[in-house]
A and B are shown apart, each in its own frame.
Chain A
Amino acid sequence: MTSVSVRDVSYRYEDGTLALDSLSFDVAEGERVAILGPNGAGKSTLFELLMGLQFPQKGSIQIMGEELNSKSAPRLRRLMGLVFQDPDDQIFMPRVWDDVAFGPINMGLPEGVVRENVRKALESTGLVGFDQRAPHRLSRGEKKRVAIAGVLAMEPKIVFLDEPTAELDPKGKRDLIRVLNGLHTTMLVATHEVQTALEITDRAVVIDRTKLGEGTYPELFSNPHLLERASLDVPPIPKLFELLQNDGISLGKPTSVDEAAEILRKALSRRS
Protein backbone atom coordinates (compact mmCIF):
# COMPACT_ATOMS: atom_id res chain seq x y z
CA MET A 1 0.00 0.00 0.00
CA THR A 2 1.18 3.54 -0.77
CA SER A 3 1.56 5.64 2.38
CA VAL A 4 2.44 8.93 0.71
CA SER A 5 1.70 9.91 -2.85
CA VAL A 6 2.81 13.30 -4.17
CA ARG A 7 1.55 14.24 -7.63
CA ASP A 8 2.75 17.30 -9.59
CA VAL A 9 2.89 19.42 -6.46
CA SER A 10 3.86 23.08 -6.85
CA TYR A 11 4.04 25.65 -4.08
CA ARG A 12 4.85 29.32 -4.19
CA TYR A 13 5.45 31.51 -1.11
CA GLU A 14 3.42 34.67 -0.63
CA ASP A 15 6.31 36.77 -1.94
CA GLY A 16 6.19 34.81 -5.22
CA THR A 17 9.27 32.62 -4.64
CA LEU A 18 8.81 29.17 -6.10
CA ALA A 19 9.47 26.58 -3.38
CA LEU A 20 8.36 23.41 -5.17
CA ASP A 21 7.75 22.80 -8.84
CA SER A 22 5.77 19.82 -10.21
CA LEU A 23 7.17 17.40 -7.65
CA SER A 24 6.00 13.77 -7.78
CA PHE A 25 7.01 10.65 -5.87
CA ASP A 26 5.51 7.77 -3.88
CA VAL A 27 6.45 6.13 -0.61
CA ALA A 28 5.19 2.65 0.20
CA GLU A 29 4.06 1.57 3.67
CA GLY A 30 6.99 0.73 5.95
CA GLU A 31 9.53 2.30 3.59
CA ARG A 32 12.28 4.64 4.84
CA VAL A 33 12.98 7.31 2.25
CA ALA A 34 15.32 10.30 2.32
CA ILE A 35 14.40 13.58 0.69
CA LEU A 36 17.86 14.76 -0.33
CA GLY A 37 18.49 18.29 -1.45
CA PRO A 38 20.59 21.37 -0.76
CA ASN A 39 19.51 24.18 1.57
CA GLY A 40 16.53 25.99 0.07
CA ALA A 41 15.50 22.98 -2.04
CA GLY A 42 12.02 23.02 -0.52
CA LYS A 43 12.41 20.06 1.85
CA SER A 44 10.89 21.74 4.92
CA THR A 45 8.09 23.23 2.79
CA LEU A 46 7.38 19.77 1.38
CA PHE A 47 7.00 18.39 4.92
CA GLU A 48 4.64 21.21 5.89
CA LEU A 49 2.53 20.32 2.83
CA LEU A 50 2.64 16.60 3.67
CA MET A 51 1.46 17.39 7.22
CA GLY A 52 -1.41 19.51 5.89
CA LEU A 53 -0.07 22.64 7.60
CA GLN A 54 -0.03 24.39 4.19
CA PHE A 55 -1.63 23.34 0.92
CA PRO A 56 -0.11 23.23 -2.56
CA GLN A 57 -1.39 25.67 -5.19
CA LYS A 58 -1.07 22.91 -7.80
CA GLY A 59 -1.06 19.12 -7.68
CA SER A 60 -2.29 16.73 -5.03
CA ILE A 61 -1.08 14.76 -2.03
CA GLN A 62 -2.57 11.48 -0.84
CA ILE A 63 -1.94 10.05 2.61
CA MET A 64 -2.79 6.34 3.04
CA GLY A 65 -4.88 6.59 -0.11
CA GLU A 66 -6.88 9.62 1.00
CA GLU A 67 -6.69 13.07 -0.58
CA LEU A 68 -5.08 15.65 1.76
CA ASN A 69 -7.02 18.91 1.81
CA SER A 70 -8.14 21.48 4.40
CA LYS A 71 -11.12 19.30 5.32
CA SER A 72 -9.28 15.99 5.72
CA ALA A 73 -6.06 17.49 7.18
CA PRO A 74 -7.03 17.47 10.90
CA ARG A 75 -8.04 13.80 10.65
CA LEU A 76 -5.06 12.72 8.51
CA ARG A 77 -2.65 14.51 10.84
CA ARG A 78 -3.56 11.85 13.40
CA LEU A 79 -1.72 9.35 11.20
CA MET A 80 1.41 11.46 10.85
CA GLY A 81 4.10 12.99 13.02
CA LEU A 82 6.54 15.73 12.10
CA VAL A 83 9.83 16.24 13.91
CA PHE A 84 10.84 19.84 13.26
CA GLN A 85 14.36 20.88 12.31
CA ASP A 86 14.67 23.09 15.38
CA PRO A 87 13.50 21.13 18.45
CA ASP A 88 12.84 24.41 20.29
CA ASP A 89 9.96 25.03 17.86
CA GLN A 90 8.37 21.82 18.99
CA ILE A 91 9.00 21.47 22.71
CA PHE A 92 6.44 23.71 24.41
CA MET A 93 5.95 22.28 27.85
CA PRO A 94 8.16 23.14 30.84
CA ARG A 95 8.90 19.47 31.61
CA VAL A 96 9.96 16.60 29.35
CA TRP A 97 7.21 14.22 30.51
CA ASP A 98 4.46 16.78 29.94
CA ASP A 99 5.84 17.61 26.51
CA VAL A 100 5.94 13.99 25.38
CA ALA A 101 2.40 13.53 26.73
CA PHE A 102 1.17 16.72 24.99
CA GLY A 103 0.18 15.05 21.68
CA PRO A 104 -1.42 11.87 23.12
CA ILE A 105 -3.52 13.96 25.56
CA ASN A 106 -4.66 16.20 22.69
CA MET A 107 -5.66 13.05 20.80
CA GLY A 108 -8.01 12.24 23.67
CA LEU A 109 -6.34 8.93 24.53
CA PRO A 110 -7.23 7.40 27.93
CA GLU A 111 -4.85 8.24 30.78
CA GLY A 112 -3.42 4.71 31.00
CA VAL A 113 -2.64 4.67 27.28
CA VAL A 114 -1.03 8.13 27.47
CA ARG A 115 1.22 7.02 30.34
CA GLU A 116 2.17 3.81 28.52
CA ASN A 117 2.87 5.64 25.23
CA VAL A 118 5.03 8.22 27.02
CA ARG A 119 6.94 5.49 28.84
CA LYS A 120 7.59 3.60 25.58
CA ALA A 121 8.56 6.79 23.71
CA LEU A 122 11.01 7.86 26.43
CA GLU A 123 12.46 4.36 26.53
CA SER A 124 12.92 4.06 22.76
CA THR A 125 14.64 7.45 22.59
CA GLY A 126 16.95 6.72 25.53
CA LEU A 127 15.35 9.36 27.72
CA VAL A 128 14.44 7.29 30.78
CA GLY A 129 15.07 9.47 33.84
CA PHE A 130 14.58 12.72 31.92
CA ASP A 131 10.85 12.95 32.78
CA GLN A 132 11.05 15.93 35.12
CA ARG A 133 13.87 17.80 33.35
CA ALA A 134 13.26 21.30 31.97
CA PRO A 135 13.79 21.45 28.18
CA HIS A 136 15.90 24.60 28.36
CA ARG A 137 18.46 22.67 30.39
CA LEU A 138 18.92 19.90 27.81
CA SER A 139 21.63 19.62 25.15
CA ARG A 140 20.72 19.99 21.49
CA GLY A 141 20.88 16.21 20.97
CA GLU A 142 18.68 15.56 24.00
CA LYS A 143 16.15 18.13 22.81
CA LYS A 144 16.05 16.38 19.41
CA ARG A 145 15.32 13.10 21.16
CA VAL A 146 12.57 14.73 23.24
CA ALA A 147 11.05 16.08 20.01
CA ILE A 148 11.15 12.59 18.48
CA ALA A 149 9.68 11.06 21.66
CA GLY A 150 6.85 13.62 21.50
CA VAL A 151 5.98 12.41 18.02
CA LEU A 152 6.45 8.69 18.74
CA ALA A 153 4.12 8.89 21.75
CA MET A 154 1.30 9.67 19.30
CA GLU A 155 2.07 6.37 17.50
CA PRO A 156 1.95 7.82 14.00
CA LYS A 157 1.88 5.56 10.95
CA ILE A 158 4.18 7.97 9.07
CA VAL A 159 7.02 10.01 10.59
CA PHE A 160 8.59 13.01 8.86
CA LEU A 161 11.99 14.10 10.18
CA ASP A 162 13.30 17.46 9.04
CA GLU A 163 17.13 17.59 9.15
CA PRO A 164 17.23 15.30 12.21
CA THR A 165 21.00 15.38 12.68
CA ALA A 166 21.61 19.06 11.90
CA GLU A 167 23.79 20.84 14.48
CA LEU A 168 24.48 17.66 16.43
CA ASP A 169 27.94 16.63 17.60
CA PRO A 170 29.21 13.18 16.45
CA LYS A 171 27.97 11.42 19.59
CA GLY A 172 24.57 13.12 19.42
CA LYS A 173 24.37 12.12 15.76
CA ARG A 174 25.31 8.48 16.46
CA ASP A 175 22.79 8.24 19.32
CA LEU A 176 20.03 9.70 17.17
CA ILE A 177 20.77 7.45 14.20
CA ARG A 178 20.60 4.45 16.55
CA VAL A 179 17.21 5.67 17.85
CA LEU A 180 15.86 6.21 14.33
CA ASN A 181 17.09 2.82 13.13
CA GLY A 182 15.15 1.21 15.98
CA LEU A 183 11.82 2.64 14.76
CA HIS A 184 9.47 0.53 12.70
CA THR A 185 7.30 2.94 10.79
CA THR A 186 7.09 4.63 7.41
CA MET A 187 9.73 7.33 7.58
CA LEU A 188 10.65 10.30 5.41
CA VAL A 189 13.88 12.07 6.31
CA ALA A 190 14.74 15.47 4.82
CA THR A 191 18.47 16.13 4.85
CA HIS A 192 21.38 17.44 2.82
CA GLU A 193 23.76 15.00 4.54
CA VAL A 194 24.01 12.04 2.20
CA GLN A 195 25.96 9.94 4.73
CA THR A 196 23.20 10.43 7.35
CA ALA A 197 20.49 9.56 4.81
CA LEU A 198 22.43 6.45 3.90
CA GLU A 199 22.59 5.30 7.50
CA ILE A 200 18.87 5.77 8.17
CA THR A 201 16.98 5.15 4.93
CA ASP A 202 16.75 2.58 2.14
CA ARG A 203 16.46 4.93 -0.81
CA ALA A 204 16.29 8.62 -1.62
CA VAL A 205 14.41 11.17 -3.69
CA VAL A 206 16.77 13.96 -4.78
CA ILE A 207 15.08 17.33 -5.10
CA ASP A 208 15.97 20.91 -5.79
CA ARG A 209 12.50 22.50 -5.98
CA THR A 210 11.63 19.74 -8.46
CA LYS A 211 12.59 16.09 -8.52
CA LEU A 212 16.06 15.50 -9.94
CA GLY A 213 16.03 11.73 -9.50
CA GLU A 214 15.35 8.86 -7.13
CA GLY A 215 16.64 5.39 -6.36
CA THR A 216 18.62 3.23 -3.98
CA TYR A 217 22.01 4.53 -2.86
CA PRO A 218 24.14 2.35 -5.18
CA GLU A 219 21.94 3.62 -8.04
CA LEU A 220 22.38 7.25 -6.96
CA PHE A 221 26.13 6.92 -6.45
CA SER A 222 26.57 5.43 -9.90
CA ASN A 223 25.20 8.72 -11.24
CA PRO A 224 27.48 11.34 -9.64
CA HIS A 225 26.12 14.10 -11.90
CA LEU A 226 22.76 13.77 -10.20
CA LEU A 227 24.19 14.54 -6.75
CA GLU A 228 26.38 17.24 -8.27
CA ARG A 229 23.30 18.93 -9.76
CA ALA A 230 21.77 18.94 -6.29
CA SER A 231 25.01 20.37 -4.80
CA LEU A 232 25.42 17.20 -2.72
CA ASP A 233 28.55 15.15 -2.06
CA VAL A 234 29.02 11.43 -2.52
CA PRO A 235 30.20 10.08 0.88
CA PRO A 236 33.90 9.06 1.08
CA ILE A 237 33.44 5.26 0.99
CA PRO A 238 31.30 5.08 -2.20
CA LYS A 239 33.50 7.80 -3.72
CA LEU A 240 36.68 5.79 -3.03
CA PHE A 241 35.29 2.62 -4.59
CA GLU A 242 33.97 4.64 -7.57
CA LEU A 243 37.48 6.04 -8.15
CA LEU A 244 38.99 2.54 -7.89
CA GLN A 245 36.43 1.30 -10.41
CA ASN A 246 37.37 4.13 -12.78
CA ASP A 247 40.94 2.82 -12.56
CA GLY A 248 39.76 -0.65 -13.47
CA ILE A 249 39.71 -2.07 -9.91
CA SER A 250 36.13 -3.22 -9.50
CA LEU A 251 35.55 -4.43 -5.95
CA GLY A 252 31.86 -3.67 -5.47
CA LYS A 253 29.72 -0.77 -4.31
CA PRO A 254 29.83 -0.60 -0.53
CA THR A 255 27.96 2.22 1.19
CA SER A 256 29.30 1.83 4.74
CA VAL A 257 32.69 1.43 6.41
CA ASP A 258 31.73 -2.07 7.59
CA GLU A 259 30.80 -3.21 4.07
CA ALA A 260 33.99 -1.66 2.66
CA ALA A 261 36.11 -3.37 5.32
CA GLU A 262 34.52 -6.73 4.50
CA ILE A 263 35.14 -6.28 0.75
CA LEU A 264 38.76 -5.23 1.30
CA ARG A 265 39.35 -8.11 3.74
CA LYS A 266 38.09 -10.61 1.16
CA ALA A 267 40.06 -8.98 -1.68
CA LEU A 268 43.29 -8.99 0.35
CA SER A 269 42.87 -12.58 1.54
CA ARG A 270 42.34 -13.66 -2.10
CA ARG A 271 45.60 -11.91 -3.07
CA SER A 272 47.62 -13.53 -0.32
Chain B
Amino acid sequence: MDGLVFPAGAEGGPFGRRQRHARAGRVPVILVTGFLGAGKTTLVKALLDSPEGAGTVVVVNEFGDIGIDQALLAPSAESRVALLGNGCVCCAARSDLEQTFRTLLTDRARGLIPPFQRVVLELSGADDPTTVLQTFLNMRALGREYHLQAVVAVVDAATGALALADNPEARRQIALADRMVLTKADLASEAEIAALTAVLRDLNPAAPLLTAQHGRIGPDLLLADSDLALPNLLVAEVVHRPDLATFTLDLDRPISWTGLTAALGLLCELRGADLLRIKGLVRLDGCQGPVVIHAVRHLLHKPVELAAWPVGAASRLVFITQGRITRDQVSALFAVVGELTG
Protein backbone atom coordinates (compact mmCIF):
# COMPACT_ATOMS: atom_id res chain seq x y z
CA MET B 1 0.00 0.00 0.00
CA ASP B 2 2.99 2.27 0.45
CA GLY B 3 2.92 3.42 -3.15
CA LEU B 4 -0.73 4.33 -2.99
CA VAL B 5 -0.47 7.27 -0.63
CA PHE B 6 1.73 10.32 -0.63
CA PRO B 7 4.41 10.37 2.05
CA ALA B 8 4.01 13.08 4.69
CA GLY B 9 7.27 14.70 3.63
CA ALA B 10 10.20 16.04 5.57
CA GLU B 11 8.10 18.71 7.21
CA GLY B 12 4.90 16.80 7.72
CA GLY B 13 3.73 14.55 10.53
CA PRO B 14 0.93 12.02 10.85
CA PHE B 15 -1.57 14.88 10.93
CA GLY B 16 -0.07 16.88 8.09
CA ARG B 17 1.82 20.13 8.36
CA ARG B 18 3.26 21.09 11.72
CA GLN B 19 1.70 24.48 12.35
CA ARG B 20 2.88 27.53 14.22
CA HIS B 21 -0.62 27.98 15.63
CA ALA B 22 -3.59 25.71 15.89
CA ARG B 23 -5.54 28.12 13.72
CA ALA B 24 -3.04 28.19 10.83
CA GLY B 25 -4.82 29.73 7.83
CA ARG B 26 -8.28 29.58 9.30
CA VAL B 27 -10.33 32.55 10.43
CA PRO B 28 -10.35 32.92 14.20
CA VAL B 29 -13.74 32.96 15.88
CA ILE B 30 -14.22 34.36 19.35
CA LEU B 31 -17.34 33.15 21.06
CA VAL B 32 -18.78 35.58 23.58
CA THR B 33 -21.26 34.02 25.97
CA GLY B 34 -23.08 35.29 29.02
CA PHE B 35 -26.53 35.75 30.36
CA LEU B 36 -28.97 38.40 29.22
CA GLY B 37 -27.82 41.83 30.31
CA ALA B 38 -24.37 40.68 31.35
CA GLY B 39 -22.75 43.30 29.15
CA LYS B 40 -21.58 41.25 26.17
CA THR B 41 -22.58 43.83 23.61
CA THR B 42 -20.84 46.61 25.52
CA LEU B 43 -17.61 44.63 25.50
CA VAL B 44 -17.88 43.79 21.82
CA LYS B 45 -18.67 47.37 20.95
CA ALA B 46 -15.63 48.54 22.90
CA LEU B 47 -13.50 46.13 20.89
CA LEU B 48 -14.89 47.48 17.62
CA ASP B 49 -14.07 51.00 18.70
CA SER B 50 -10.45 50.10 19.48
CA PRO B 51 -7.62 50.00 16.91
CA GLU B 52 -7.07 46.33 17.69
CA GLY B 53 -10.65 45.60 16.69
CA ALA B 54 -10.17 46.68 13.07
CA GLY B 55 -11.14 43.98 10.61
CA THR B 56 -13.60 42.33 12.98
CA VAL B 57 -16.89 40.89 11.83
CA VAL B 58 -19.53 40.59 14.49
CA VAL B 59 -22.25 38.03 14.25
CA VAL B 60 -24.97 38.54 16.82
CA ASN B 61 -27.94 36.42 17.61
CA GLU B 62 -30.77 38.87 17.80
CA PHE B 63 -32.76 38.24 20.91
CA GLY B 64 -36.45 38.99 21.01
CA ASP B 65 -38.39 41.14 18.62
CA ILE B 66 -36.78 44.48 19.27
CA GLY B 67 -33.32 43.78 17.95
CA ILE B 68 -31.84 45.87 20.71
CA ASP B 69 -28.40 44.40 20.24
CA GLN B 70 -28.45 45.44 16.62
CA ALA B 71 -29.35 48.97 17.62
CA LEU B 72 -26.46 49.09 20.05
CA LEU B 73 -23.95 47.71 17.58
CA ALA B 74 -25.02 49.68 14.56
CA PRO B 75 -23.00 52.85 15.30
CA SER B 76 -19.77 50.90 14.89
CA ALA B 77 -20.17 51.15 11.19
CA GLU B 78 -16.55 50.26 10.44
CA SER B 79 -17.25 46.61 11.12
CA ARG B 80 -19.97 44.63 9.53
CA VAL B 81 -22.76 43.37 11.72
CA ALA B 82 -24.62 40.33 10.55
CA LEU B 83 -27.82 39.49 12.34
CA LEU B 84 -29.16 36.02 12.56
CA GLY B 85 -32.87 35.40 12.60
CA ASN B 86 -34.94 35.48 15.74
CA GLY B 87 -34.59 32.88 18.41
CA CYS B 88 -31.90 30.71 19.73
CA VAL B 89 -28.69 30.13 17.78
CA CYS B 90 -28.00 26.74 19.18
CA CYS B 91 -31.37 25.25 18.42
CA ALA B 92 -33.54 26.50 15.62
CA ALA B 93 -30.91 28.67 14.03
CA ARG B 94 -27.92 26.38 13.86
CA SER B 95 -28.15 25.98 10.12
CA ASP B 96 -28.47 29.76 9.89
CA LEU B 97 -25.25 30.06 11.82
CA GLU B 98 -23.45 27.90 9.31
CA GLN B 99 -25.01 29.76 6.45
CA THR B 100 -24.06 33.11 7.93
CA PHE B 101 -20.44 32.07 8.35
CA ARG B 102 -20.27 30.59 4.88
CA THR B 103 -21.73 33.72 3.38
CA LEU B 104 -19.03 35.76 5.10
CA LEU B 105 -16.34 33.73 3.31
CA THR B 106 -17.96 33.84 -0.09
CA ASP B 107 -18.71 37.54 0.22
CA ARG B 108 -15.11 38.16 1.20
CA ALA B 109 -13.83 36.09 -1.72
CA ARG B 110 -16.08 38.02 -4.09
CA GLY B 111 -14.96 41.33 -2.69
CA LEU B 112 -18.45 42.23 -1.49
CA ILE B 113 -17.20 42.87 2.03
CA PRO B 114 -13.76 44.09 3.05
CA PRO B 115 -11.11 41.59 4.07
CA PHE B 116 -11.59 40.67 7.73
CA GLN B 117 -9.27 39.21 10.33
CA ARG B 118 -11.65 37.52 12.73
CA VAL B 119 -15.27 36.95 13.68
CA VAL B 120 -16.79 37.63 17.06
CA LEU B 121 -19.90 35.54 17.60
CA GLU B 122 -22.09 36.90 20.34
CA LEU B 123 -24.43 34.26 21.64
CA SER B 124 -27.70 35.09 23.29
CA GLY B 125 -27.94 34.59 27.00
CA ALA B 126 -29.94 31.40 26.92
CA ASP B 127 -27.75 29.60 24.39
CA ASP B 128 -25.95 26.41 25.28
CA PRO B 129 -22.55 26.96 23.69
CA THR B 130 -21.69 23.27 23.28
CA THR B 131 -23.81 22.96 20.16
CA VAL B 132 -22.17 26.01 18.66
CA LEU B 133 -18.73 24.72 19.63
CA GLN B 134 -19.45 21.49 17.80
CA THR B 135 -20.23 23.41 14.64
CA PHE B 136 -16.72 24.89 14.70
CA LEU B 137 -15.05 21.56 15.45
CA ASN B 138 -16.79 19.73 12.62
CA MET B 139 -14.73 19.76 9.44
CA ARG B 140 -17.90 19.21 7.44
CA ALA B 141 -19.50 22.24 9.04
CA LEU B 142 -17.25 25.24 9.76
CA GLY B 143 -14.11 23.60 11.17
CA ARG B 144 -12.22 23.70 7.91
CA GLU B 145 -12.48 27.45 7.44
CA TYR B 146 -12.88 28.72 10.99
CA HIS B 147 -10.85 28.18 14.12
CA LEU B 148 -12.47 28.46 17.52
CA GLN B 149 -10.04 30.90 19.05
CA ALA B 150 -11.56 31.34 22.48
CA VAL B 151 -14.76 31.16 24.47
CA VAL B 152 -15.20 34.28 26.58
CA ALA B 153 -17.88 34.27 29.25
CA VAL B 154 -19.26 37.57 30.52
CA VAL B 155 -20.75 37.69 34.02
CA ASP B 156 -22.69 40.54 35.57
CA ALA B 157 -21.40 41.14 39.11
CA ALA B 158 -24.76 42.34 40.26
CA THR B 159 -27.00 39.58 38.97
CA GLY B 160 -24.54 36.85 38.00
CA ALA B 161 -24.83 34.87 41.21
CA LEU B 162 -28.59 34.60 40.77
CA ALA B 163 -28.29 33.57 37.14
CA LEU B 164 -25.74 30.91 38.02
CA ALA B 165 -27.87 29.54 40.81
CA ASP B 166 -31.00 29.31 38.69
CA ASN B 167 -29.77 28.31 35.25
CA PRO B 168 -27.79 25.27 34.22
CA GLU B 169 -27.05 27.06 30.90
CA ALA B 170 -25.32 29.86 32.78
CA ARG B 171 -23.20 27.38 34.70
CA ARG B 172 -22.25 25.56 31.51
CA GLN B 173 -21.23 28.85 29.89
CA ILE B 174 -18.83 29.48 32.76
CA ALA B 175 -17.49 25.94 32.83
CA LEU B 176 -16.76 25.99 29.09
CA ALA B 177 -15.07 29.38 29.04
CA ASP B 178 -11.41 29.94 28.21
CA ARG B 179 -11.58 33.39 29.77
CA MET B 180 -14.08 35.15 32.04
CA VAL B 181 -14.99 38.81 32.38
CA LEU B 182 -16.74 40.31 35.37
CA THR B 183 -18.82 43.38 34.46
CA LYS B 184 -20.72 46.03 36.42
CA ALA B 185 -18.48 45.54 39.43
CA ASP B 186 -19.47 49.02 40.63
CA LEU B 187 -23.02 47.76 41.19
CA ALA B 188 -22.01 45.04 43.64
CA SER B 189 -20.44 45.02 47.06
CA GLU B 190 -17.02 43.57 47.70
CA ALA B 191 -18.61 40.69 49.57
CA GLU B 192 -20.95 39.95 46.67
CA ILE B 193 -18.04 39.99 44.24
CA ALA B 194 -16.01 37.68 46.46
CA ALA B 195 -18.90 35.24 46.71
CA LEU B 196 -19.48 35.33 42.96
CA THR B 197 -15.78 34.83 42.30
CA ALA B 198 -15.81 31.76 44.50
CA VAL B 199 -18.72 30.33 42.52
CA LEU B 200 -16.93 31.06 39.23
CA ARG B 201 -13.77 29.40 40.48
CA ASP B 202 -15.75 26.35 41.54
CA LEU B 203 -17.08 26.04 38.03
CA ASN B 204 -13.91 27.01 36.20
CA PRO B 205 -10.72 26.95 38.26
CA ALA B 206 -8.24 27.77 35.52
CA ALA B 207 -9.64 30.35 33.12
CA PRO B 208 -8.28 33.88 33.60
CA LEU B 209 -10.85 36.13 35.27
CA LEU B 210 -10.73 39.85 34.59
CA THR B 211 -12.88 42.72 35.78
CA ALA B 212 -14.06 45.14 33.10
CA GLN B 213 -13.57 48.80 33.82
CA HIS B 214 -16.58 50.78 32.56
CA GLY B 215 -17.39 48.02 30.11
CA ARG B 216 -13.84 47.86 28.78
CA ILE B 217 -11.17 45.22 28.93
CA GLY B 218 -7.81 44.87 27.25
CA PRO B 219 -8.38 43.74 23.66
CA ASP B 220 -6.25 40.65 24.22
CA LEU B 221 -8.83 39.20 26.54
CA LEU B 222 -11.13 38.87 23.57
CA LEU B 223 -8.61 38.40 20.78
CA ALA B 224 -5.89 36.10 22.09
CA ASP B 225 -5.89 32.42 21.28
CA SER B 226 -7.15 30.15 24.02
CA ASP B 227 -4.34 29.00 26.23
CA LEU B 228 -4.04 25.29 25.71
CA ALA B 229 -0.87 25.17 27.76
CA LEU B 230 -2.80 25.68 30.94
CA PRO B 231 -0.93 26.43 34.13
CA ASN B 232 -1.02 23.69 36.67
CA LEU B 233 -3.99 25.06 38.55
CA LEU B 234 -6.17 22.04 38.36
CA VAL B 235 -4.15 19.86 40.66
CA ALA B 236 -7.12 18.34 42.35
CA GLU B 237 -10.40 17.14 41.04
CA VAL B 238 -13.03 19.79 41.40
CA VAL B 239 -16.54 18.47 41.83
CA HIS B 240 -18.33 20.90 44.03
CA ARG B 241 -21.51 20.74 42.09
CA PRO B 242 -23.60 17.76 41.17
CA ASP B 243 -23.98 18.79 37.56
CA LEU B 244 -20.51 19.94 36.44
CA ALA B 245 -16.91 18.91 36.94
CA THR B 246 -13.62 20.17 35.63
CA PHE B 247 -10.46 18.14 35.98
CA THR B 248 -7.16 17.52 34.26
CA LEU B 249 -5.44 14.37 33.20
CA ASP B 250 -1.65 14.61 33.06
CA LEU B 251 -0.12 12.32 30.52
CA ASP B 252 3.38 11.85 31.81
CA ARG B 253 4.46 9.48 29.08
CA PRO B 254 3.87 9.75 25.33
CA ILE B 255 0.64 8.08 24.32
CA SER B 256 -0.09 6.32 21.05
CA TRP B 257 -2.74 7.68 18.73
CA THR B 258 -4.42 4.29 18.89
CA GLY B 259 -4.49 4.45 22.67
CA LEU B 260 -5.77 8.02 22.78
CA THR B 261 -8.57 7.43 20.29
CA ALA B 262 -9.50 4.15 21.98
CA ALA B 263 -9.81 5.85 25.37
CA LEU B 264 -11.62 8.90 24.08
CA GLY B 265 -13.73 6.77 21.78
CA LEU B 266 -14.95 4.53 24.57
CA LEU B 267 -15.63 7.53 26.78
CA CYS B 268 -17.59 9.11 23.95
CA GLU B 269 -19.55 5.98 23.30
CA LEU B 270 -20.54 5.56 26.93
CA ARG B 271 -20.93 9.17 28.05
CA GLY B 272 -20.48 11.40 25.01
CA ALA B 273 -23.41 13.63 25.87
CA ASP B 274 -21.80 14.45 29.20
CA LEU B 275 -18.40 15.43 27.77
CA LEU B 276 -18.98 19.16 27.48
CA ARG B 277 -15.44 19.89 26.36
CA ILE B 278 -12.04 18.20 26.26
CA LYS B 279 -9.04 20.30 25.35
CA GLY B 280 -5.30 20.22 25.68
CA LEU B 281 -1.90 19.46 24.20
CA VAL B 282 -0.77 15.86 24.06
CA ARG B 283 2.62 14.24 23.48
CA LEU B 284 1.87 11.52 20.93
CA ASP B 285 4.13 8.72 19.78
CA GLY B 286 5.63 9.60 16.41
CA CYS B 287 4.97 13.34 16.66
CA GLN B 288 7.69 15.92 17.24
CA GLY B 289 5.45 18.69 18.49
CA PRO B 290 2.41 18.71 20.73
CA VAL B 291 -0.88 17.64 19.23
CA VAL B 292 -3.88 19.85 19.87
CA ILE B 293 -6.86 17.88 21.10
CA HIS B 294 -10.25 19.54 21.13
CA ALA B 295 -13.50 17.67 21.53
CA VAL B 296 -17.04 18.62 22.40
CA ARG B 297 -19.49 15.89 23.31
CA HIS B 298 -19.19 13.19 20.62
CA LEU B 299 -17.10 15.25 18.25
CA LEU B 300 -13.29 15.30 18.12
CA HIS B 301 -11.72 17.96 15.94
CA LYS B 302 -9.12 16.88 13.42
CA PRO B 303 -5.85 16.88 15.39
CA VAL B 304 -3.27 19.56 14.65
CA GLU B 305 0.42 19.04 15.36
CA LEU B 306 2.19 22.21 16.44
CA ALA B 307 5.75 22.97 15.40
CA ALA B 308 6.96 23.34 18.99
CA TRP B 309 5.82 23.02 22.58
CA PRO B 310 4.85 26.33 24.16
CA VAL B 311 7.06 27.28 27.08
CA GLY B 312 5.93 25.59 30.25
CA ALA B 313 3.38 23.39 28.55
CA ALA B 314 2.83 19.80 29.56
CA SER B 315 1.05 16.86 27.99
CA ARG B 316 -2.32 17.29 29.61
CA LEU B 317 -6.03 17.13 28.88
CA VAL B 318 -8.69 19.23 30.55
CA PHE B 319 -12.10 17.63 30.89
CA ILE B 320 -15.26 19.62 31.48
CA THR B 321 -18.02 17.16 32.17
CA GLN B 322 -21.46 16.77 33.63
CA GLY B 323 -23.30 13.87 35.21
CA ARG B 324 -20.61 12.83 37.64
CA ILE B 325 -17.83 11.67 35.40
CA THR B 326 -14.82 11.67 37.69
CA ARG B 327 -11.14 12.11 37.16
CA ASP B 328 -10.44 8.73 38.75
CA GLN B 329 -12.66 6.98 36.23
CA VAL B 330 -11.06 8.70 33.26
CA SER B 331 -7.57 8.19 34.62
CA ALA B 332 -8.24 4.47 35.14
CA LEU B 333 -9.65 4.20 31.63
CA PHE B 334 -6.53 5.80 30.12
CA ALA B 335 -4.30 3.56 32.25
CA VAL B 336 -6.02 0.38 31.13
CA VAL B 337 -6.10 1.42 27.49
CA GLY B 338 -2.43 2.40 27.76
CA GLU B 339 -1.54 -1.06 29.02
CA LEU B 340 -3.59 -2.85 26.40
CA THR B 341 -2.23 -0.80 23.53
CA GLY B 342 1.32 -1.05 24.78
Asked if A and B bind, the verdict is no
Binding site for A on B (CB under 8 A): none
Binding site for B on A (CB under 8 A): none
